[in-house]
């Protein structure tokens, strides 16, 4: 009986591990920039922990020309481009990126976090894939939050989020973490994007969180722009549209015009859930169909004071390709965006 119980326990742990691994590997498309603070206030031990976390993160990603692109910037008093992706991803090889991380040196010195964030924006401007390709963007900053200029961190972080549309994680490392500055750097909500790596035991937990959130980050789409995209069978592509121009106190509608060129998709929408799926929201219904252009029109209500509208496309066939355009209209049907 004891042997049987031990065997069942082992099988249970294996099943749990398999479930965790399946949930924290990333098969999506993503542009990722990692910033590593190597300043004197960090200490060599936490710096090594952060490097281990970076290796763990990269190992979970489907790195490649058409999938995940990774850039690495190490900084202290100055910022260095340790490894920068290019638009076509021809330099994206996982073993090479891991080798670069393992060779990063702890040099000490000052803490130019604001300049590093500024450099991340420049890298993305030059090397991130075009927004028309609908590739989500994420920045992961490992730091203790003890920068030379907190005001510059605030300014550059706001510009980074606004200009690149990236989600930003701030991971606290070391024993003297300034949590207030981590919040200046990170996206909101902070309980999702501000994390702490106090020791090696937290490494897996922190990287699980980053992988799950970053790999499901919705890509930004502009109203009125026609986008072309594709989605694999039984997977989702997530999108977000910023709502501007609705009068205060009044709602409106989001119109999504979809033209399926190959396969078939299901569309899900939400004004609260960043990753709408069949498990957490209802499937959007076609409101009208233009037979001449083979376009399906989805019309979804936007409650008053909504700032962001989320949508997703789920692949039904083995190959699913489509174009879509979103439009925001006010409660009276007037076009806003």
Helix H or strand E encompassing 122: helix 113-127
- Pair 57, 50: CB distance under 8 Å: no
Distance (Å, whole) CA 191 – CA 187: 10
Class of domain 219-329: mainly beta
Share of the chain above pLDDT 90, in %: 79
- Cα separation, 307 vs 317, in Å, equals 33
- The confidence score (pLDDT) of residue 30 equals 96
Domain ranges of the chain: 30-216, 219-329
Q: Taking Cα atoms as reference points, which of 184, 312, 163, 236 lies closest to residue 194?
A: 184
pLDDT averaged per 10 residues in sequence order, the chain, 337 residues? 39 35 68 97 93 95 95 97 95 96 95 98 96 95 96 98 97 93 96 90 90 94 95 94 79 94 97 95 92 91 92 96 94 70
**What is the CA 251 to chain-centroid distance, rounded?**
28
The reported pTM is: 0.87
CA 257 to chain centre: 25
* pLDDT at site 34: 98
Condensed to tens digits (0 to 9), the pLDDT of residues 80-127 reads 999 999 999 999 999 999 999 999 999 899 999 999 999 999 999 999
The Cα–Cα gap between 145 and 50 comes to 14
Note whether 160 and 117 are within 8 A (CB).
yes
CATH topology of domain 30-216: Rossmann fold (3.40.50)
H/E/C letters for each residue in 74-93?
EECCCEEEEECCCCCCCCCC
Given a contact cutoff of 8 angstroms between Cβ atoms, the answer to whether 239 and 134 are in contact is yes
The confidence score (pLDDT) of residue 253 equals 93
Return all residues near 158 (Cβ < 8 A) that are at least 6 apart.
none
The 3-state DSSP class for residue 5 equals: helix
Q: Note the pLDDT of residue 317.
A: 97
Residue 285 phi, psi (nearest 5): -105, 140
Maximal C-alpha separation, the chain: 72
255 membership: H or E segment, kind and range: strand 252-262
Check for a shared fold between 30-216 and 219-329: no
Length of the chain: 337
pLDDT recorded at residue 337? 59
Phi, psi of 50, deg, nearest 5 = -65, -40
Using DSSP bridges, classify how beta strands 137-143 and 167-173 pair: parallel, antiparallel or unpaired: parallel
Q: How far apart are CA 267 and CA 312, in angstroms?
A: 6
How far is C-alpha 45 from the geometric centre of its chain's CA atoms?
28
């Amino acid at each position: 009986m004891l042997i049987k119980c031990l065997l069942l326990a082992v099988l249970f742990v294996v099943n749990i591990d398999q479930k965790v691994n399946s949930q924290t590997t990333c098969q999506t498309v993503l542009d990722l920039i990692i910033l590593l603070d190597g300043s004197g206030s960090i200490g060599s031990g936490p710096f090594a922990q952060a490097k281990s976390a970076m290796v763990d993160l990269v190992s979970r990603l489907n790195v490649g020309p058409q999938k995940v692109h990774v850039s690495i910037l190490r900084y202290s008093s100055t910022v260095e481009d340790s490894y920068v992706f290019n638009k076509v991803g021809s330099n994206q090889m996982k073993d090479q990126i891991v080798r670069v991380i393992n060779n990063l040196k702890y040099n000490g010195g000052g803490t130019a976090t604001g300049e590093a964030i500024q450099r991340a924006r420049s890298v993305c401007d030059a090397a991130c894939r075009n927004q028309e390709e609908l590739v989500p963007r994420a920045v992961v900053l490992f730091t203790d939050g003890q920068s030379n200029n907190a005001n510059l961190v605030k300014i550059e972080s706001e510009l980074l989020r606004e200009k690149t549309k990236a989600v930003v994680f701030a991971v606290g490392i070391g024993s003297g973490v300034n949590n207030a500055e981590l919040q200046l750097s990170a996206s909101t909500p902070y309980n999702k994007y501000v994390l702490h790596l106090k020791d090696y035991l937290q490494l897996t937990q922190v990287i699980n969180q980053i992988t799950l959130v970053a790999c499901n980050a919705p890509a930004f789409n502009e109203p009125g722009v026609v986008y072309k995209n594709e989605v694999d069978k039984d997977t989702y592509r997530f999108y977000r549209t910023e709502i501007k121009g609705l009068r205060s106190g009044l709602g409106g509608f989001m119109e999504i015009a979809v033209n399926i060129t190959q396969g078939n998709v299901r569309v899900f929408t939400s004004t609260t859930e960043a990753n709408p799926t069949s498990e957490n929201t209802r499937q959007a219904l076609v409101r009208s169909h233009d037979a001449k252009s083979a376009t399906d029109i989805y019309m979804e209500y936007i409650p008053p004071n909504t700032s962001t509208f989320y949508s997703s496309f789920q692949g039904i066939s083995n190959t699913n390709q489509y174009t879509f355009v979103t439009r925001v209209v006010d409660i009276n049907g007037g076009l806003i965006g």
